[in-house]
């Protein structure tokens, strides 16, 4: 919506977020409608291969633990 993170943090609370979500469900923002109308797809970013075993092992090692 063009809001800064600071604005959101200072202004948006849970009830307001719920109200906005309900409103946007009925009246989506223009950029969402246009993206849907023209089947816009975000440019592909280079994908990172997923290696959860390696990630978990690195995390366990960083904390000095032993992986079972």
Task: Provide the pLDDT for residue 43.
Answer: 85
Task: Provide the pLDDT for residue 67.
Answer: 52
Rounded alpha-carbon distances, angstroms, from residue 22 to 12, 33, 53, 63: 14, 16, 40, 43
Task: Provide the pLDDT for residue 56.
Answer: 73
Rounded alpha-carbon distances, angstroms, from residue 21 to 1, 2, 26, 34, 55: 13, 16, 9, 18, 35
pLDDT along the chain (68 residues), means of 10: 89 92 93 90 72 70 66
Q: What is the pTM of this model?
A: 0.49
C-alpha dihedral (54, 55, 57, 63), degrees to nearest 10? 160
Task: Provide the pLDDT for residue 24.
Answer: 92
């Amino acid at each position: 919506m063009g809001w800064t993170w600071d604005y959101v943090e200072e202004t948006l609370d849970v009830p307001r977020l719920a109200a906005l979500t309900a409103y946007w469900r009925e009246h989506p923002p223009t950029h969402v409608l246009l993206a849907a109308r023209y089947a816009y797809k975000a440019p592909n970013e280079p994908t990172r291969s997923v290696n959860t075993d390696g990630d978990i092992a690195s995390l366990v090692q960083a904390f000095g633990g032993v992986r079972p």
